[in-house]
């Protein structure tokens, strides 16, 4: 890609591995080698960091130092320059997000129902709030506009 007079974003969505060996191979590629990375190319990767590499409890308990095993598994995530966290939000913030989406789409929302929705899913986040709005819209017989972002 280096000689091409364009910029490239190489996009890998929802990266995950079944075994640490595959992750080590990618980690080595990301570190580079004899040739520098092209200045006109960037790697963009999405992943649920918690599931990037499954943690095998047996492997950790048999290691001399269990922390070494965890560090090795998370070393791939350390190769990326920017990491965005989407952390759990408190209940009031979650309800505010739901209300904002509902208002934008002309829906009436019951905050207790929205909280129950999040509780059944085990998390409160902007994504869960959006999924609730999609469900609420469908139940009301309405349709979201075609330009509505369904993967918030």
Q: pLDDT tens digits for 56-71?
A: 543 444 555 666 656 6
- High-pLDDT (> 70) share of the chain, %: 67
Residue 6 is predicted with a pLDDT of: 95
Please list, in sequence order, all residues whose beta carbon lies within 8 angstroms of the beta carbon of residue 79, skipping any fewer than 6 positions away.
Answer: 27, 30, 31
Residue 32 is predicted with a pLDDT of: 66
Dihedral, CA atoms, 149, 94, 83, 3, nearest 10 degrees? 10
Q: Is the pLDDT of residue 118 over 80?
A: yes
Report residue 132 as tokens.
């609730």
Query: What pTM did the predictor assign?
Result: 0.54
Between 69 and 107, residue with greater pLDDT: 107
Residue 56 is predicted with a pLDDT of: 54
- Pick from 89, 76, 74, 99: nearest CA to 25: 76
Residue 57 is predicted with a pLDDT of: 42
Residue 58 is predicted with a pLDDT of: 39
**Of the spans 49-58, 108-117, 122-131, which averages the highest pLDDT?**
108-117
Residue 89 is predicted with a pLDDT of: 92
What does pLDDT average to over the chain? 78
- Cα–Cα distance for residue pair 118/90, rounded to 1 Å: 11
Between 146 and 149, residue with greater pLDDT: 146
Alpha helices in the chain (DSSP H): 20-31, 57-62, 66-74, 91-104, 111-121, 126-139
């Amino acid at each position: 890609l280096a000689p091409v007079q364009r910029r490239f974003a190489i996009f890998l969505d929802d990266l995950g591995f079944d075994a640490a060996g595959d992750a080590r191979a990618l980690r080595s590629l990301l570190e580079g080698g004899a040739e520098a990375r092209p200045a006109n190319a960037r790697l963009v990767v999405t992943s649920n960091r918690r599931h990037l590499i499954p943690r095998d409890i047996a492997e950790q308990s048999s290691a001399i130092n269990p922390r070494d095993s965890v560090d090795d598994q998370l070393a791939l995530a350390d190769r990326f320059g920017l990491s965005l966290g989407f952390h759990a939000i408190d209940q009031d913030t979650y309800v505010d997000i739901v209300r904002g989406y509902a208002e934008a789409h002309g829906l009436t929302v019951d905050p207790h129902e929205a909280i129950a929705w999040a509780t059944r899913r085990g998390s409160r986040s902007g994504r869960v709030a959006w999924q609730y709005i999609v469900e609420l819209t469908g139940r009301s017989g309405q349709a979201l506009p075609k330009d509505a972002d369904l993967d918030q």
